């Protein structure tokens, strides 16, 4: 017996969709512009989760080339029926302005960790699609619908039957609801229980007014009535609480009859401040009362710890050391927009090293050579060792701390006109690029060995270091602002709405802006949680 510590999926793991198959629980989360698309985690106790699958792993399923920051894979819905797993997802192409290009697709498999099917197109009328398997055997696709008129955006929730024979939506499209008084209605999931159809929704927007609402009807197509104590989950009434932005939820029943809800949360550095770990997944236990769900705690906000009878360990900070002597990369390493293929990312070119061939810049939406993992705590340390010998200033490689193409910090090795290798710390902040070091740190030509790069992240401060030719770490420049790598900062612009739905990553990258594909070899990559 013990406590589950929230969040259960730490770091950028938003929009959870949960199912139980026998004694296994599975959660699918959004990945946006990161490839492969969709992460699926498995657990037997609702606390210890293991990343087991990345189903959208080829371009024929998911083409992300050129998608904007925070575009790509939104709000996957994972479901299961009669031996088949179903996964619905959006691949968002454009979102700025009144027009939203949001095609929705379905892939299936009978082996969750195996190969998934080619995608079936469903619709482009909205996003946050969900597949509901009715007791009658019929299958129904629901989503929010985009209304571009007068900058409305949220046009309510629609429903249409899906034919497994024709592999497309068929019949009439039903408008289920405009949502509740909270507005900004999205993320529908349907359930059947005790003679009712229940419709769970995310409302209030994706920031500090985010909330989970519930409606119900005795008819699938409505009319739907609203939860009497709406919303039934939110943190908006308690701005000092450690878990904020509570919304976008899904529910599941345990074998013993208990009910749980998984939902999106954020952990701000300060009260209603910036969340460098992005949008994460938490869990809560709830009960049914008079035919409606209520959190077991009696409050509306998710707790930092949830008691569960069968928990064998408590979450503690961990160290992740990536071994490049193996034949396969860890599943938690992802690339931007493109598959991880041998032509730019190789474990075989040099034994014991990961070789990245330099390609496009960190501002590219196309072909970057970058591998990164999620930042999972507000205090962390990242270390890498690399062997890189650039010939001129257009060739760079090093340690990147990344939010999107116009918000990052980059500690990199390059070369000057004299052929000397040097180290520089570069920042991109809302498209403005600056270099922290007035005089780049020159690396001694008499020390040919691997160069160590390190970034210590403490809340809103990141201090970078170098190690070369000795066991000592030397500080590089002054601390830089880590909080610019957050949804909250990226969206903070009075003149332009910027979609920002992901989270901070740390990783390895290599650029060759001359097009000559100069490579860098990485021997060590370590991420340590210090909280």
Strand positions, DSSP E, 22-94: 24-29, 34-35, 39-43, 50-53, 72-81, 84-92
Structural Rg of the chain based on CA atoms: 23
Q: Which of 374, 447, 479 is nearest to 31 (CA)?
A: 374
Residue whose token pair is 């770490």: 473
Residue 460 burial (CB < 10 Å; 0-12/13-18/19+)? buried
Sheet holding 104-109, edge to edge: 72-81, 84-92, 104-109, 120-123
Bridge partners (DSSP) of residue 9 are 281
Active site residue 209: no
Whole-angstrom distance, CA of residue 314 vs CA of residue 306 = 11
Half-sphere exposure of residue 529, counting CA atoms within 13 Å on the CB side? 15
Residue whose token pair is 């949360």: 265
Q: How far is CA 282 from CA 1, 9, 28, 47, 262, in A?
A: 19, 7, 13, 10, 6
Looking at residue 304, the DSSP 8-state letter turns out to be S
Tokens representing 89 are 């997802």
Q: Measured in whole angstroms, how far is the alpha carbon of residue 224 from the centre of its chain?
A: 32
Cβ neighbors of 7 (< 8 A, separation 6 or more) are: 13, 243, 265, 267, 280, 281, 282
Q: Which helix (H) or strand (E) holds 487?
A: helix 487-491
In contact, 360 and 531? CB cutoff 8 Å: no
Q: 350-364 burial string, b = 16+ CB within 10 Å, else e?
A: eeebbbbbbbbebeb
Cβ neighbors of 427 (< 8 A, separation 6 or more) are: 408, 409, 410, 433, 434, 435, 436, 480
Bridge partners (DSSP) of residue 432 are 429
Q: Which of 30, 18, 90 is nearest to 54 (CA)?
A: 30
Whole-angstrom distance, CA of residue 51 vs CA of residue 263 = 18
Residue whose token pair is 């064998």: 312
> Among residues 128, 186, 387, 521, which one is catalytic?
186
Active site residue 33: no
* Size of the chain, expressed as the number of residues it contains: 531
In contact, 266 and 205? CB cutoff 8 Å: no
- Catalytic residues, by residue number, are 15, 186
């Amino acid at each position: 017996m013990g406590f589950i510590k929230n969040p259960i999926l730490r770091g950028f793991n938003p929009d959870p969709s949960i199912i139980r198959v026998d004694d296994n629980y599975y959660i699918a989360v959004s990945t946006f512009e990161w490839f492969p698309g969709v992460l699926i985690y498995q657990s037997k106790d609702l606390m210890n989760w293991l990343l087991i699958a990345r189903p959208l792993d080829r371009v024929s399923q998911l083409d992300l080339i050129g998608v904007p920051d925070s575009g790509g894979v939104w709000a996957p819905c994972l479901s299961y029926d009669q031996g088949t797993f179903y996964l619905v997802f959006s691949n968002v192409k454009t979102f700025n302005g009144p027009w939203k290009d949001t095609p929705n697709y379905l892939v299936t498999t009978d082996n969750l960790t195996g190969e998934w099917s080619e995608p079936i197109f469903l619709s482009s009328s909205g996003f946050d699609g969900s597949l509901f398997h009715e007791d009658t055997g019929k299958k129904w696709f629901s989503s929010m619908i985009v209304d571009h008129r007068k900058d409305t955006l949220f046009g309510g929730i629609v429903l249409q039957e899906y034919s497994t024979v024709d592999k497309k939506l068929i019949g009439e499209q039903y408008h289920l609801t405009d949502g509740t008084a909270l507005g900004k209605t999205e993320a529908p999931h349907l359930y059947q229980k005790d003679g009712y159809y229940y419709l769970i929704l995310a409302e209030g927007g994706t920031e500090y007014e985010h909330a989970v609402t519930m409606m119900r009807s005795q008819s699938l197509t409505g009319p739907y009535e609203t939860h009497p104590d709406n919303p039934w989950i939110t943190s908006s009434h308690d701005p000092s609480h450690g878990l904020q932005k509570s919304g976008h939820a899904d529910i599941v029943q345990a074998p013993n009859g208990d009910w749980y809800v998984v939902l999106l949360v954020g952990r701000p550095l300060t009260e209603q401040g910036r969340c460098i770990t992005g949008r994460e997944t938490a869990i809560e236990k709830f009960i049914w009362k008079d035919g409606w769900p209520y959190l077991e705690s009696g409050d509306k906000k998710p707790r930092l710890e949830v008691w569960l009878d069968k928990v064998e360990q408590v979450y503690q900070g961990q160290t992740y050391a990536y071994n490049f002597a193996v034949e396969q990369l860890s599943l938690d390493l992802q690339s931007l927009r493109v598959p991880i293929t041998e032509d730019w990312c190789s474990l075989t070119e040099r034994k014991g090293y990961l070789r990245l061939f330099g390609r496009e810049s960190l501002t590219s939406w196309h072909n970057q050579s970058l591998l990164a993992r999620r930042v999972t705590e507000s205090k962390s340390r990242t270390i890498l060792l690399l062997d890189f010998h650039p010939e001129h200033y257009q060739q760079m490689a090093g340690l990147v701390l990344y939010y999107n193409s116009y918000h990052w910090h980059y500690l990199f090795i390059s070369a000057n006109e004299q052929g000397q290798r040097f180290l520089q710390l570069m920042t991109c902040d809302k498209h403005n690029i600056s270099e922290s070091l007035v005089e780049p740190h020159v690396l001694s030509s008499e020390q040919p060995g691997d160069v160590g790069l390190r970034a210590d992240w403490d809340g809103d401060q990141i201090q970078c270091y170098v190690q070369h030719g000795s066991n000592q770490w030397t500080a590089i420049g002054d601390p830089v602002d880590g909080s610019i790598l957050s949804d909250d900062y990226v969206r903070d612009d009075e003149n332009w709405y910027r979609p920002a739905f992901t989270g901070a990553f740390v990783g390895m990258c290599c650029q060759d802006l001359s097009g000559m594909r100069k490579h860098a070899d990485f021997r060590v990559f370590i991420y340590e949680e210090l909280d």
